[in-house]
Structure 1
Amino acid sequence: MSLFKHLRTGLTCLVFLCASATLAQKVVVTPDKADGVYKVGETVTWDLACSEGCDSVRYILKKGGLTDIKHGDVSFNSSTPQVSYTFDAPGTMLLEVSWGKGGWGNRSVGGAVANPDQIALSAQKPKDFDSFWNKQLKQLKKVPANPVLEKGESGVDNVDYWKISMDNINGSHIQGQLAKPSAGEKFPALLIVQWAGVYPLDKGWAVNRAKDGWLTLNIEAHDLPIDEPKEFYKEQSDGPLKNYPAIGNDSRETSYFLRMYLSCYRAAQYLTKRPDWNGETLVVMGDSQGGQQTLMTAGFHPAVTAAIALVPAGFDMLGPVAGRKGGWPQWYGSTEGKDAAKVHEASRYYDVANFVTNIKCPVLVGIGLLDETCPPEGILAGVNQLTTHKQVMILPTSGHQDRNGSQEPFRSERDKVWLPALRDGKGAPVH
């Protein structure tokens, strides 16, 4: 692992040198800079390598992962089939290469970014953003938490385990699992929040962190029991929670994410009230939708002392206005027959970029340069608003998923560097 550079705004990018292949693919796309990071005025050239019988492929260059600025064909009759692009402004470029009938099984992608520390927001924070959320917190405080713990077996020596539920707004609940070391009186706290989907919680997600010395709370994103059979969650996903991001998304007052965001706040608050919290360390972490909740919580709750997010969702909801793809759940296009203007306006109050300016703690963020679910440009624009210590790892071969170990550098930094230092009271590492 090597330190790439200190960017002018203090943004630290850790970049890892590896080729830009995902799973076994017919065409592998590799930029001439292995880290994928360029400056405005520089040209990125992607080499295309074919593993079997290629005559030619189609390509599209997508600015910000969305806007088609150039397309054409590349012949493999030449000795070095390539596609090039010269950056004229800060931002990202996604190269999509396809063959045959196209589709996900017949395509590869390459990525590059120029001046990542200078990418700007697609929209400014609403003037009443903070007042809206302060109002929601006041409503939450009217509902007693009423935590209920049910003792269970951790399955691991020297770790205690409970299922937990708490009350939330509108008669809803927070459901999760709590684990901590059996020996000791005071512990650093860790809140783990979940990626998208409808599924049970794995006991190991809480227990393994507790084994490492953490008072760990892991919560469901939904008001659902945490350990039902898989069929139960499929029924929920196919039924009442089908396309849950779109539920109520034409109003900031009714968005499905209102309950979810307040769940995170209450979970963090609960940890700070426990007598076995050490009163010093409260870390929040998660991937994808969990990264969205992580950074939102860090900007929402003043007791959070560090936030760790991998490929975070929820950034750049109005990205298409600026010609780039917004992050999941892509509310801009997910209007579901509703008034599009209302959906777009409501999304601004759930855009993680608008919570970031309130973050006062150190932040570790991992960004996939090939991520088409949570595109890198909008995330970079958002984390550029951070004024605290931040370490941003641009993962040049990573899409949204961890294919071929593309996200391992981030996980290693998280598990072997950040979490041990935070647990031991040394604070966030400074590179």
Structure 2
Amino acid sequence: MSKFNRLFLFLVLSCSTAWAQPVEQLIKVIVAPDHTDWIYRIGEKAKFTVTVLENGNPVKDAKISYEVGPEKLKPAVQQTAVLKDGTLVIDGGTMQTPGFLRCAVTAEVKGKTYRRLATAGFNPTAIQPTVTMPADFSAFWNKGKSELAKVPLDARSTLLPERCTENVNVYHVNIQGYGNSRLYGILCVPKKEGKYPAVLRVPGAGIRPYGGDIARAELGFITLEIGIHGIPVNLDPSVYTSLAAGALNGYPSFNIDDKDRYYYKRVYLNCVRANDFLVSLPQFDGANLGVMGGSQGGALSIVTASLDSRVKYLAAMYPALSDVTGYTKGRAGGWPHLFRGDMVSKEALETAGYYDVVNFAKQLKQPGYYTWGYNDETCPPTSMYAVYNSITAPKDLYLLLETGHYVYPEQVEVLGGWLTKQLKK
């Protein structure tokens, strides 16, 4: 196996559980829009063909229930049916504004239930964000970066001999971050003397340990995989389980009513601090710095590149924290779905404008590669298109329509390969 292939195998295997592909099931429920590209014009009717298969053959008299409506909102249609010959065509109706119409089907076969969905896009390239841009958005973040610049790095690196390879040294790093916080991560550096490009890997949501991007370092990169919670990233897994259920449970909404104290202020600025550390390393080539991540990490990739011009390229998978105010305008908002309920404070809405990925995307200058699917129920495609349509920098989108909140190896290969090529020019 080539070094290049080993890299992508490692990346696929090291993805967090949020990136995992769905498990194969005995009974397969297939839901397919009648347009092969899943795209419709405003006012055009979408039809969904449902097929229930066992061993590749239609299941006769399969009982199904289905819902059709705008993603993440109350269904416009809720029905049940019996598939006499294992298939059914559902009239999904249409949409009068750009967005996504979702058909979710649950089949009951031999006492077990199986669920699948498909999502039709209505002129998605015309979706516009709902979140507002604060007048002092740039000033707010410039002040934060100025405050950060006055804080010494105070970087402490501890070699992890058990993780090192013949070609790569692996360290647990502890860096002084924004305010009184510390930033922790796993640094991987090629042993061979020379100058190397660097990649910052930013994490998806959750609380967990990290192993570092050793395989990419084997190919001649400095890599730093960080956590965001101000705790070491090499502790016993039980520590993270306890924090996730206790002190850090619900962290995406911590202090949402105060833009200066919101949880993600430290997180965003510490991503810049991670780059401060990377560019300070004597092995860095002085020019080529990339950032990549998925979900929360997709958001942080965009935010980091927007805040830090030292980043030359970014690769983002299904970015979260995108157009989170969508629910206040009658459509889906992005993870963590802060405004889905009835109680929405003026202060929280104000804070959202300073942290929403849309407003960072508008200021991006770096080329980026993006990927997602229409069936994502965690990061709705409406929210992600609100970001993508706001980007004026060079951009490419790799769509795998049926994917949800996970990636196929092909997506990792395309985005990782693109980032590798750009940084190795």
TM range (shorter): 0.7 to 0.9
* Percentage identity across paired residues of the two chains: 30
Question: What are the superposed Cα offsets for residues 351-401 of structure 1, whole Å, 9 maximum, x if unpaired?
Answer: 101100111111111112100100111111111111111011222111102
Asked if the contact 2:328/2:339 (under 8 Å) is kept, the reply is no
Question: What are the superposed Cα offsets for residues 316-350 of structure 1, whole Å, 9 maximum, x if unpaired?
Answer: 11011232221111111379xx8633223222211
2: CA distance, partners of 1:374 / 1:105:
24
Question: What are the superposed Cα offsets for residues 251-288 of structure 1, whole Å, 9 maximum, x if unpaired?
Answer: 11111111111110111222223332212211100011
Asked if the contact 1:296/1:356 (under 8 Å) is kept, the reply is yes
Asked if the contact 2:291/2:301 (under 8 Å) is kept, the reply is yes
Asked if the contact 1:67/1:324 (under 8 Å) is kept, the reply is no
- Match of residue 206, structure 2, among 197, 210, 214: 197
Superposed displacement of residue 37, structure 1: 2.6
Question: What are the superposed Cα offsets for residues 7-58 of structure 1, whole Å, 9 maximum, x if unpaired?
Answer: xxxxxxxxxxxxxx97435532122233323333443321101234645433
Give the 3 Å change call, closer, same or farther, for CA 108–22 of structure 1 in structure 2: farther
Question: SS at 2:304's partner residue?
Answer: helix
Question: SS at 1:81's partner residue?
Answer: strand
Does residue 395 of structure 1 match 2:400?
yes
Q: What is aligned with 1:366?
A: 371
Report matched runs for 1:327-338 at 5 Å.
327-333=334-340
1: CA distance, partners of 2:106 / 2:52:
12
1: CA distance, partners of 2:291 / 2:398:
18
Q: What is aligned with 1:107?
A: 115
Question: What are the superposed Cα offsets for residues 170-219 of structure 1, whole Å, 9 maximum, x if unpaired?
Answer: 311000111121113211110001111111002xx321110111111111
Q: What is aligned with 1:286?
A: 293
Give the unaligned 5+ runs of structure 1: 1-20, 426-431
Question: SS at 1:295's partner residue?
Answer: helix
Does residue 73 of structure 1 match 2:75?
no
Asked if the contact 2:126/2:389 (under 8 Å) is kept, the reply is yes
Question: Which deviates more, 153-162 or 72-81?
Answer: 72-81
Provide the aligned C-alpha RMSD in A.
2.4
Q: What is aligned with 1:229?
A: 236
Q: What is aligned with 2:348?
A: 343
Superposed displacement of residue 136, structure 1: 1.5
Give the 3 Å change call, closer, same or farther, for CA 166–88 of structure 1 in structure 2: same
Superposed displacement of residue 241, structure 1: 0.9
Give the 3 Å change call, closer, same or farther, for CA 55–304 of structure 1 in structure 2: same
Does residue 385 of structure 1 match 2:390?
yes
Asked if the contact 1:261/1:293 (under 8 Å) is kept, the reply is yes
1: CA distance, partners of 2:137 / 2:187:
32
Question: SS at 1:174's partner residue?
Answer: strand
**Count of residue correspondences:** 395
Q: What is aligned with 2:13?
A: none
Asked if the contact 2:52/2:87 (under 8 Å) is kept, the reply is no
Q: What is aligned with 1:206?
A: 213
Q: What is aligned with 2:29?
A: 27
* AA of the residue aligned to 2:168: V
2: CA distance, partners of 1:394 / 1:341:
36
Q: What is aligned with 2:420?
A: 420
Q: What is aligned with 1:324?
A: 331
Q: Report the TM-score when normalising by structure 2.
A: 0.86
Give the unaligned 5+ runs of structure 2: 1-21, 54-58
Q: Report the TM-score when normalising by structure 1.
A: 0.85
Give the 3 Å change call, closer, same or farther, for CA 126–53 of structure 1 in structure 2: farther
Asked if the contact 1:213/1:423 (under 8 Å) is kept, the reply is no
Question: SS at 2:240's partner residue?
Answer: helix
Q: What is aligned with 1:260?
A: 267
Asked if the contact 1:331/1:347 (under 8 Å) is kept, the reply is no
Give the 3 Å change call, closer, same or farther, for CA 31–387 of structure 1 in structure 2: same
* AA of the residue aligned to 1:412: E
2: CA distance, partners of 1:67 / 1:123:
22
1: CA distance, partners of 2:311 / 2:412:
21
Question: What are the superposed Cα offsets for residues 110-132 of structure 1, whole Å, 9 maximum, x if unpaired?
Answer: 11212222111122312221111
- Match of residue 161, structure 1, among 158, 166, 170: 170
2: CA distance, partners of 1:127 / 1:73:
50
Asked if the contact 1:250/1:342 (under 8 Å) is kept, the reply is yes
Asked if the contact 2:60/2:85 (under 8 Å) is kept, the reply is no
Q: What is aligned with 2:9?
A: none
* AA of the residue aligned to 2:286: G
1: CA distance, partners of 2:61 / 2:230:
50
Asked if the contact 1:369/1:376 (under 8 Å) is kept, the reply is yes
* AA of the residue aligned to 1:109: L
Asked if the contact 1:22/1:397 (under 8 Å) is kept, the reply is no
1: CA distance, partners of 2:131 / 2:260:
20
Q: What is aligned with 1:409?
A: 410
